[in-house]
Amino acid sequence: MSQAFGRGWKVGRRQQKSWNRPRTTGQVASKRERVSEVAEKETLDVRPARSSAECRAAAHLRALTFYNYPADRSEYARRLHKQMKTDAEWESIENKLRGNEVGYENVQVDCLIATVPEEMIIRSEAVDPSFLSYKIPGREHNHARCVVGTLDINRGPKLPAEEMAGILPKENPLARGYLSNVCTLQHMRRKGIAKKLISQSFLNAQRMGVEILYVHVAEDNLPALKLYEEMGFTIEAKEKANASQLLGRPSRMLLHVKLP
C-alpha cells in the first residue's frame, strides 16, 4: 500500500563486498541507499500529467493507495480489482483535465505527478507486483520513468460533493483552490517527495489564479498534518464528530495557506 496525505487529500549503511559470505540484511539495505536521496537529486521530476500514459500511471498509484483489496481473495481476483479501480481513476483524471467530469463543470483541475527513473525503483517485496502499471514508457532515447507521487489541484469555490468548504478569500471564491488525491508510493515515503509535490502545487496553483490553497486532512494522520504545518498551512475548520461517524471515517480538518 502507499501512503496517502489526504484523499480529499497515503536505509542502511554501506558495507564492503565480501566474496566469502552471503549477503546480509545491511548489504541489501545499502542497495536502497540511492533511493533515500531521490528527493535531493535531479532524478525526481515533478510536472503536470499530460499524456494518457502519465494519467494512467497516476491512476494506478491512486488505486494502490485509496482502496483496500481483501487478502482472502485470490491473487487473480485482487489484480482484477486493482485493474478496475485503476481504469476508473484513469477515466476520472482525464475527464477532469478535459472539464468533462460530472460535478466538476465549474472546477479547473490540474494533476501533478512526481517521477523517478525506472532504475531507481528497487525490485523487492516492498514493490507491488504490478510494478509496470505505474511506469511511463520512455520515448526514443529517454529511459522509462515511474510515478511515485501524485496530487490534484482544484480551482473553484468548493470541491464537488464536499460539505466542508473554505471561506477565503471571501470577496473572490474563484480564487480558492483545493489539493486532493495526495499520495506517495509506500517504499518511497520519507524522502521529500510529498514536500516537493506540494511545493510545486503552490506554483501551479498561482498560475491557475489561486490565492488561498486548501487541503482536507484526517485528524489522525499526524505525519501529513506535520508536513502541511511545516509548509505554512493553518487549521481553518474541524469536521463535526457526528458527521464523520455517519460516514464511517475519522474526523478531518480543513487547512489553508495563503500563496505568495
Per residue in 52-84, pLDDT (tens digit) is 999 999 999 999 999 988 889 998 998 899 999
pLDDT in tens, the chain (260 residues): 445 555 544 433 333 333 334 444 444 444 455 445 544 456 899 999 999 999 999 999 999 999 988 889 998 998 899 999 999 999 999 999 999 999 999 999 999 999 988 877 755 444 554 544 567 776 545 678 889 999 999 999 999 989 899 999 999 999 999 999 999 998 888 889 999 999 999 999 999 999 999 999 999 999 999 999 999 999 999 988 777 777 777 899 999 999 99
The C-alpha atoms of residue 248 and residue 31 are separated, in whole angstroms, by 41
Written as nine digits, the cell of 86 is: 485503476
Mean predicted lDDT score pLDDT of the chain: 82
Residues β-bridged to residue 184: 3, 149
The structure's pTM equals 0.81
Q: Report, in angstroms and rounded to the nearest whole number, the Rg of the chain calculated over CA atoms.
A: 19
**Residue 7: which of 159, 135, 132 has the closest Cα?**
159
Dump pLDDT digits (tens) for 207-219.
999 999 999 999 9
Identify the pLDDT of residue 149: 95
| CA–CA separation, 131 and 133 (whole Å) | 5
Using CA atoms, how far apart are residues 186 and 198, in angstroms rounded to an integer? 17
Task: Identify the DSSP state of 66.
Answer: H
* Separation between Cα atoms, residue 92 and residue 78, nearest integer Å: 21
Start-to-end CA distance of the chain, whole Å, equals 35
